[in-house]
Amino acid sequence: MPRITDPIKIRNMEIKNRLGFPPMMSGSISNGVPGKNFYNVYEPIAKGGAGFITVEASSTDPMNNP
């Protein structure tokens, strides 16, 4: 049985462990667009060891804000 700290492969992507960070509302998105504060929130989480992170609602197109 695999452990939570074991890597997992999903198609052609390998995730270093099975620890995931769920989406949360951090208020780091302004008008649906990630800004500097977005990276200030999620960078430490990524460096902290989460295998994958699901971020809050955001948009890559300012015309289609959530």
What is the per-residue pLDDT for 30? 72
Is the pLDDT at 6 greater than 70, yes or no? yes
Whether the CB-CB separation of 28 and 38 falls below 8 Å is answered with yes
User: What's at 48, amino acid-wise?
Assistant: G
- Residue at 60 is within a domain: no
Tokens of 5: 């700290």
d(CA 14, CA 60): 25
pLDDT confidence of 13, banded at 50, 70, 90?
very high
Total of domains in the chain: 1
- Residue at 13 is within a domain: yes
Query: 47 is in which domain, residue-wise?
Result: 8-53
pLDDT tens profile 20-66: 999 888 877 777 677 788 889 889 999 999 999 998 877 666 665 55
pTM of the model: 0.69
What is the per-residue pLDDT for 50? 93
Q: List Cβ neighbours of 30 (8 Å cut-off, separation of 6 or more).
A: 37
- Residue at 24 is within a domain: yes
